[in-house]
């Protein structure tokens, strides 16, 4: 999440994904580890996400039934615990790192009984069950997907939503002409236009986008997108 720039390099597809997997395998399974040393921003992040999501929930006049949600790139379950479980009846998590998956239920605590599945998988390989989720939440993970894999992932997520469900994407963005590459964790930071293009290519309609407020100025601008 810290504003870092590296050389843009495609490299081998396998190396791109294996380098990211290796990076996260060395990260401690804590909130500070999940947020790259920026644990202090977690409350601000969660509050911003709640405010963005609220109008889409049925209780607020929206279409989303608070029944079943999916947390993508879930880590140890920070978003599952603090955003999704307080709203939704059940939550599934998908996370590629095994030691994050193994620590998730302990971190979440008693409410982890409402976490139905913890899928240990990279998003490039993950296939959500069709028509299953009222909300799919994806945050700070899509930079680890190549463009073509990102479009395919969005397509699978679109198929995984219920008829009235939505997907929310929350990501760092770069204010440049094109995405930058960070070779320390093997990830891209895309422009808003590039992210939007991938969403539209997948068949999504962008209902709204909004900048997260009150983050430190030395972080990338973070934007939320509601998709249907």
| Annotated binding-site ranges for S-adenosyl-L-methionine | 73, 78, 123-124, 139
Distance CA 158, CA 128 (A): 9
Q: From 103, 105, 122, select the one nearest 30 (Cα to Cα).
A: 103
| Annotated binding-site ranges | 73, 78, 123-124, 139
Q: From 168, 159, 195, select the one nearest 179 (Cα to Cα).
A: 195
The sheet carrying 115-120 orders its strands as 115-120, 90-95, 68-72, 133-139, 161-172, 222-227, 206-211
Q: Residues with Cβ < 8 Å from 118, sequence gap 6 or more?
A: 74, 92, 93, 94, 95, 101, 104, 105
Task: Give the length of the chain.
Answer: 228
């Amino acid at each position: 999440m810290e504003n870092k720039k590296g050389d843009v390099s495609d490299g081998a597809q396998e190396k791109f994904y294996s380098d990211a997997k290796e990076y996260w395998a060395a990260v401690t399974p804590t909130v500070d580890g999940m947020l790259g040393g920026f644990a202090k921003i977690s409350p601000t992040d969660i509050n911003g996400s709640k405010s963005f999501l609220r109008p889409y929930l049925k209780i607020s006049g929206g279409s989303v039934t608070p029944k079943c949600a999916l947390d993508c790139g879930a880590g140890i379950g920070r978003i599952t615990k603090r955003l999704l479980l307080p709203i939704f009846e059940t939550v599934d998590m998908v996370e590629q790192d095994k030691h994050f998956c193994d620590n998730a239920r302990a971190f979440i605590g008693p409410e982890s009984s409402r976490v139905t599945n913890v899928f240990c998988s990279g998003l490039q390989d993950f296939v959500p069950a069709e028509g299953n989720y009222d909300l799919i939440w994806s945050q700070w993970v899509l930079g680890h997907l190549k463009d073509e894999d990102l479009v395919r992932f969005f397509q699978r997520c679109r198929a995984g939503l219920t008829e009235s469900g939505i997907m929310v994407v929350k990501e760092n963005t770069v204010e440049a002409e094109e995405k930058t590459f960070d070779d320390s964790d093997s990830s891209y930071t895309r422009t808003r236009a590039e992210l939007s293009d991938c969403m539209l290519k997948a068949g999504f309609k962008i209902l709204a986008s909004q900048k997260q407020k009150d983050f430190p100025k030395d972080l990338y601008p973070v934007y939320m997108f509601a998709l249907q």
